[in-house]
């Protein structure tokens, strides 16, 4: 795949020293050229870079990836906003969406996100995005995925083209259907007359599961948006399933429609646009969103963290 002027690189590191050594030269080069830099990493990694930069750290914008990227579906719009800011200098982004301790579902969505970046920014202007990967804390499978989704890689300061890089449709095609729930789900079929029942159904089970009250409203709104999409864009009916996992309540909406745009829900929809805001809103409201679409239909899973033990 021709990735144009977008340089997307996985930076592999095995220690704090390697982390800093792999990123600091790029940071210095961008700042020396009066460029703009956005670093989206966990706070402990941000502190390493601040210390290495010294006084120049004030010229770098830092944001907490554990907040921004808890749902990887929210990350691409943040890079869009960064690139849209005024300024003529080079643009450098550093983003670490896959960190040790992520769940299996989250890491799969990180893999999708990293591959979708190549679709989102191919031919969209010249900028560099470096994605650190912890070789000690992440599994061999996750590290291999990074080589598949990044056209460029670096290890111990040696930068090269990834010999394992695969185009986005190939990587996205690995995921297949989402696995069946690990617990027995509560189910509700719905049609046009049932939207009030959908909202009541979600709210009751969310409170029972221990979802924080303010976030119950978020989850109800997110499911409502998905159900509305099913009624508008599919054949007027759908199915809702809800089940509890150890740390989250999961709501799944399925219908017989088809979403052809792999970036659906990851691009901000302008005000006044005819559609597409529902999936965007869902990504803003939930801790993790998993979307799979094929000729067999749509499946969207929403994960919302819970405070009560399972």
Tokens of 197: 């029942």
CA distance 63 to 46: 8
Q: What is the pLDDT at residue 275?
A: 63
**244 and 116 part of one domain:** no
**155 and 270 part of one domain:** no
Q: What is the pLDDT at residue 272?
A: 63
**83 and 148 part of one domain:** yes
Identify whether 180 is part of a domain: no
Count CB neighbours of 292 within 10 A. 18
Place of tokens 């869902």: 282
Q: Where are the beta strands (DSSP E) in the chain?
A: 6-13, 36-41, 61-64, 91-95, 127-134, 152-155, 158-161, 186-191, 237-245, 248-255, 288-294, 297-305
CATH code of the domain containing 229: 3.30.565.10
pLDDT per position as a tens digit, 257-288: 999 899 999 998 776 665 668 999 999 999 99
- End-of-domain residue from the set 115, 144, 172: 172
pTM: 0.93
Q: What is the pLDDT at residue 175?
A: 84
**128 and 13 part of one domain:** yes
**83 and 141 part of one domain:** yes
Residue 277 burial (10 A CB sphere; 0-12, 13-18, 19+):
middle
pLDDT per position as a tens digit, 10-26: 999 999 999 999 999 99
**35 and 167 part of one domain:** yes
Average pLDDT over residues 215-220: 97
- 253: containing domain: 186-305
**217 and 105 part of one domain:** no
Identify whether 179 is part of a domain: no
Statement: residue 1 has pLDDT above 60: no
- End-of-domain residue from the set 134, 150, 172: 172
**11 and 91 part of one domain:** yes
pLDDT per position as a tens digit, 146-171: 999 999 999 988 999 999 999 998 99
Q: What is the pLDDT at residue 9?
A: 98
> How many domains, the chain?
2
Identify whether 269 is part of a domain: yes
Identify whether 178 is part of a domain: no
Q: What is the pLDDT at residue 3?
A: 42
CATH code of the domain containing 141: 3.40.50.300
Helix, coil or strand: residue 174: coil
Average pLDDT over residues 113-135: 94
Please choose, from the candidates 264, 262, 275, 279, the residue with its C-alpha nearest in 3D space to the C-alpha of residue 221.
Answer: 279
């Amino acid at each position: 795949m021709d990735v144009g002027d977008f340089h997307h690189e996985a930076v592999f590191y095995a220690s704090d020293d390697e982390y800093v050594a792999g990123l600091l030269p790029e940071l210095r080069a961008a700042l020396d050229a009066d460029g703009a830099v956005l670093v989206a990493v966990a706070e402990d990694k941000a502190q390493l870079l601040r210390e290495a930069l010294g006084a120049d750290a004030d010229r770098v914008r830092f944001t907490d990836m554990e907040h921004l990227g808890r749902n990887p579906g929210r990350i691409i719009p943040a890079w869009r906003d960064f690139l849209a800011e005024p300024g003529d200098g080079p643009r450098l982004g550093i983003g670490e969406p896959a960190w040790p301790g992520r769940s299996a579902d989250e890491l799969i969505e990180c893999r999708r996100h990293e591959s979708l970046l190549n679709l989102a920014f191919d031919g969209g202007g010249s900028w560099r995005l470096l994605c650190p990967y912890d070789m000690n804390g992440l599994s061999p499978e996750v590290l291999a995925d990074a080589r598949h989704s990044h056209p460029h890689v670096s290890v111990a300061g040696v930068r090269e083209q990834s010999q394992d890089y695969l185009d986005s449709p190939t990587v996205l095609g690995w995921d297949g259907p989402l696995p069946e729930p690990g617990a027995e789900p509560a189910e509700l079929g719905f049609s046009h007359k049932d939207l009030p029942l959908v909202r009541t159904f979600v709210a009751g089970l969310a409170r029972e599961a221990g979802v924080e009250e303010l976030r119950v409203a978020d989850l109800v709104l997110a499911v409502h948006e998905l159900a509305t999409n099913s009624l508008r864009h599919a054949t007027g009916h759908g199915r809702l399933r809800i089940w509890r996992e150890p740390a989250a309540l999961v709501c799944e909406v399925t219908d017989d429609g088809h979403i052809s745009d792999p970036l659906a829900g990851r691009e901000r929809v302008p005000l006044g646009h005819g559609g597409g805001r529902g999936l965007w809103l869902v990504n803003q409201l939930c801790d993790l969103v998993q979307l799979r679409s094929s000729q067999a239909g749509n499946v969207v899973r929403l994960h919302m963290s819970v405070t009560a033990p399972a």
